[in-house]
Amino acid sequence: MYLIPSLIMFGCGVYGFITRKNMIAILISLELMLNSVDINFVVFNRFLYPDQMDGMFFALFAIAIAAAETAVAIAIIINIYRVAKKVDISEITKLKF
């Protein structure tokens, strides 16, 4: 029953990832998806193997990787904004300025 909110969270993440145009909003949708996967790891660990902690470590490492990924992505977005003055992915079509 913990999987139901996680499932809806993942669906929201997919919807936002496809429809949003702002790069930071896309990153927020990505965080929603990563977080729902973390919930799944922890729920399956807790309900199926309650005396082991592998799923918890998977969730821990996933959180750390999500933090690192967000930091680098935001650095890239700020750099793009500094060069191109916009954060809309439909307007940023060049890789080199």
The residues facing 22 across adjacent strands are 88
Give the single-character DSSP code of 88. Answer: B
Q: How many CB atoms lie within 10 A of CB 75?
A: 10
**Dihedral angle at the C-alpha atoms of 30, 31, 32, 36, nearest 10 degrees?**
110
Task: Kindly state whether residue 91 participates in binding other proteins, applying the rule CB under 8 A.
Answer: no
Least CB distance to other proteins at residue 95 (A): 14
List the one residue from 37, 47, 89, 97 that touches other proteins (CB under 8 A): 47
List the one residue from 37, 42, 92, 94 that touches other proteins (CB under 8 A): 42
The type of residue at 82 is R
Binding residues for other proteins, per CB under 8 A? 1-16, 18-22, 24-25, 27-29, 31-32, 35, 38-39, 42-43, 46-47, 50-54, 56-57, 59-61, 63-72, 74-79, 81-82, 87-88
